[in-house]
Amino acid sequence: MSIISSTDHSNTASTTTTLSQRLTAAVCASILGACLVYFAGFSHIEAVHNAAHDTRHSSAFPCH
């Protein structure tokens, strides 16, 4: 079984991002991630905390 594919690059729009745009996206993603980890780790809602805890264990990430 063979797979034949062709790529037409004539209609592909070229997108360029500047360093400041990439840094802004990285900083925003880091802040969002830190907020989510903080919320899940220190949540008094047991369902949220236990879900984060079980997820860490299922991905073999040591947490205690």
3-class secondary-structure state, position 2? coil
Model confidence band, residue 29 (pLDDT cutoffs 50, 70, 90): very high
Structure tokens at 36: 């989510």
| Residue 49 clears pLDDT 80, i.e. is over it | no
- Cα-based distances in Å from 3 to 6, 7, 9: 10, 13, 19
Of the candidates 32, 64, 29, 33, the one whose C-alpha atom is nearest the C-alpha of residue 53 is 64
Prediction pTM value: 0.49
Tokens 């236990």: give the residue. Answer: 50
Domain residue spans in the chain?
Answer: 19-58
Percent of the chain residues topping a pLDDT of 90: 23
